[in-house]
Structure 1
C-alpha cells in the first residue's frame, strides 16, 4: 500500500542535503514510515526485552536499511520481514559488542543523526562509537518527508475518520440525563473497534468542562450521572493502517444553557475561518490567528485556551503546529486538526474537531459528519 522504498529515496536526498552520513531510528513511527515495521499498540506499563535498547535500524543514503533487533522482537513483533539486512541479538549475546560491530561496519561518519524515540543507552553507545560531538537529532529529517501526505496516506486517514464518525453516530443518542462519562467512553471505544479502528489513537476524553466538579473520564467524576441541560464534549481518535484520526463534537443533554447557542455559532465560525486560512504559503501561526479571530470578536477569546490544531498522521500529534509560536510555511497536502473550543468555567463548554488537508483556496475537510450542534431533548 505504501511505497517505503520511495520514502527512503527521498530520505537519501534529505540526508545528503543536510550532510548526514548515518541515521539511526528506534522502533517508532519514523521507522514504520520508512520500512513498514509496525509499532505495537501502546499500553500503560513498560515492556522490555534483553538488549531491547539495540532495537532499530541504521539508514545511509542510497543503501538499504540495516536492522539490529533482539531475537524476541524478530520472533514475536515482526510479522512481515522488512527490506534490508537484519542482525539478530540473542538473549545470551553481548549486545553492546554486536551493536558496536554493526555501527563501526558502516564506515567513517562525520554526522550521525539519532531519532527522538531511542533509549538513552542507545544514544550513549552511538556517542561512544562515533564520538558524541558527531551526533545530532534525527527525527526532524523524517518529519520533512512525513509532513506532506500522499493520496494513499490521505485515504488511510479518511478511513480512520470514518471509524470515529461511526462511533459518534452510535453514541450521540445516549447523551441524556443520567448517563456517565465512563459509559460513553466504553461505547465510543467499542464502536470504533467495530467500525475498523485498530485501537484508539490517544486516551479517549469525554467531559463537561474544566472545573473540579465537571464530569470527566479522567477524574473521579467519570461515573457521576449527567444532569439535564449539560453539554458533553467528545475528544477521541481511531487508527487505520497506522494512520490516526482525532475528532471532536459537542452534544447537549436537554435544552442548551443561556448563551450556549451564540457561543457555538462563534466556534463554528472559528472552525471555518481556520479552514479557509489553511492554504499553501500561509504561516502556521497566521492560520491559528485566523481561527481565533471569530471567537475573540464574540468576546470569548479568553475562553479559547487551546491552539487551532496540530499536524497529524502516523502520530496523533505531529509538527508543525497551528499555534502562535510556529512560523512554518504551509504546503499543500499537509494535514492538521482544526479544533476550536470555548470553555467558560462554571457555565458551559463546547468543542469541535475535524482533520483538514492544506490546499489552494482553503483546506479540504476529511470528515463527513455534520458540524451542527446536536441536542437530545
Structure 2
C-alpha cells in the first residue's frame, strides 16, 4: 500500500533543507531519489519523467501512457503529456505552478538523471544556478529512520541465514555457480530477491569483484562469499571468508590482519568523524602488516535504497559521518594467484558508535 504520510514527512523535511540551503527547486528523475521522496518508481526510458519540488508545490512530469499506473502510488498531481504533443507545454505548466519562472533560480538536479532530461529542464529556466543533491535529498537519505533500520536489519538477518547455509553446503567438487544458485534459491524461498552474489574459491578470491564461475572446490582452498538480497525494498550486503580444509599460516596471518583492520575502522567510526579517517584506520593496520599495496579498494560505501550510495568511506571522501548513516566497513587483502580475504559489515552509526546489522560472527569459517 502507498505510504502517503511518509511522503508528506519526507517532502516537509526536504523543504526545510531547501529553506536552509536557499534552494528554489529540486528536480528528480526516475531514480531512487524519486522513490525515496515520493514512493513512485516509474518506468524510465527516453520519455521525460521528472518530479519537481518547490517550497509550496510538487508535481510529476509524466508521459500519459505511464501516468495512470503511477497514480496509485501517490497523491501528488500529474502533468501528463502525450507522444503526439511532446512534454514542453506540460513542463511549462508544472514550472509555473512551482513558481519557477524567474531568473537565477537555485536548482538542485538529480545527479542520476539522464542528461537530456536535465538539459531540457535547464533550457526551460532563465539563467538557473544548479547543483546536485548532496546537501538536500542526498543528505536526508543518508540518515536512516526507524522504518529503514528495521527493513535493513531484516534483510541482513536473512542474509546471515543464507551465508550460513552456503558455507554448510561446501563440498569437494561443488562449483561457485552451484553455491550461488543455492543462495539465490534461499532468498527466493524466503520472499527476497538476489541483489548480487560473488562466490570465490581459491585464487578467484584475490579478485575483489569476481563473478561466480565454474571453478570447482578442492581440498585446502580459501573461500570468500560476498552476497546480498533485497527484502521489502532494502538490500543487505556482507562478506565472510573461510577455508575448506586446513588453512596455511599465511592465510591465518592475512585473515587476522583484516579482522584487526575491521576493528580499527569500527573504533574510528563516530558521528562527526571524517569518512577518510575511518578509511585510514583500516588502511594503516593493513599497511603496518606489509600488505598496504594489496588493499585494492576503499574501506566502505553507504547503503540504503541503493546498494551503493553516500557516504563513501574512502581516502578521497569529504563526507563527515553523522548519526543514522548506514555504510559498509570492508577492508581486504588480495594476493594474486593465491587467495584474498575480505570481511564486511554493514553498520548504522549511533551516537556512541556503529551498530552492526549482521549477527553472523566474522570468525574464520572452516568447512
* TM-score, scaled relative to structure 1: 0.87
CA distance 1:39–1:149, shift in 2 (3 Å): farther
Whether the 8 Å contact between 1:307 and 1:323 is mirrored in structure 2 is yes
Of residues 52, 55, 59, the one that matches 2:49 is 55
Of residues 64, 72, 85, the one that matches 2:65 is 72
Whether the 8 Å contact between 2:49 and 2:62 is mirrored in structure 1 is yes
| Aligned counterparts of 1:190 and 1:309: Cα–Cα separation in 2 | 28
**Is 1:193 aligned to 2:193, yes or no?**
no
Displacement of 1:105? 3.9
**Unpaired stretches in structure 1, ≥5 consecutive residues:** 41-46
**Is 1:277 aligned to 2:272, yes or no?**
no
Q: After the TM superposition, which residues 198-347 of structure 1 pair with which residues of structure 2 at under 5 Å, given as runs? A: 199-201=193-195, 203-208=196-201, 218=211, 222-347=213-338
2:132 maps to which residue? 137
Whether the 8 Å contact between 1:229 and 1:252 is mirrored in structure 2 is yes
SS where residue 363 of structure 1 aligns?
strand
Whether the 8 Å contact between 2:205 and 2:341 is mirrored in structure 1 is no
SS where residue 108 of structure 2 aligns?
strand
1:43 maps to which residue? none
Of residues 92, 96, 116, the one that matches 1:100 is 92
- The CA RMSD measured in Å over matched residues stands at 2.5
SS where residue 149 of structure 2 aligns?
helix
**Unpaired stretches in structure 2, ≥5 consecutive residues:** none
| Aligned counterparts of 1:369 and 1:127: Cα–Cα separation in 2 | 49
Deviations 1:24-47 (A, max 9, x none): 11111111111111367xxxxxx7
CA distance 1:180–1:129, shift in 2 (3 Å): same
Of residues 30, 35, 38, the one that matches 2:38 is 35
| Aligned counterparts of 2:56 and 2:172: Cα–Cα separation in 1 | 61
Deviations 1:201-231 (A, max 9, x none): 3x32222467799898637xx1132222111
* TM-score, scaled relative to structure 2: 0.90
SS where residue 73 of structure 1 aligns?
helix
| Aligned counterparts of 1:266 and 1:87: Cα–Cα separation in 2 | 57
2:355 maps to which residue? 364
1:118 maps to which residue? 113
SS where residue 136 of structure 2 aligns?
helix
| Aligned counterparts of 1:163 and 1:178: Cα–Cα separation in 2 | 27
Whether the 8 Å contact between 2:33 and 2:137 is mirrored in structure 1 is yes
2:165 maps to which residue? 170
Whether the 8 Å contact between 1:288 and 1:323 is mirrored in structure 2 is yes
CA distance 1:79–1:224, shift in 2 (3 Å): farther
| Aligned counterparts of 2:133 and 2:254: Cα–Cα separation in 1 | 43
2:81 maps to which residue? 89
Displacement of 1:258? 3.5
| Aligned counterparts of 1:32 and 1:336: Cα–Cα separation in 2 | 20
Displacement of 1:85? 0.6
2:342 maps to which residue? 351
**Is 1:3 aligned to 2:6, yes or no?**
yes
| Aligned counterparts of 1:294 and 1:112: Cα–Cα separation in 2 | 43
Whether the 8 Å contact between 2:239 and 2:345 is mirrored in structure 1 is yes
- State how many pairs are aligned: 361
| Aligned counterparts of 1:305 and 1:39: Cα–Cα separation in 2 | 37
CA distance 1:177–1:61, shift in 2 (3 Å): same
| Aligned counterparts of 1:359 and 1:214: Cα–Cα separation in 2 | 33
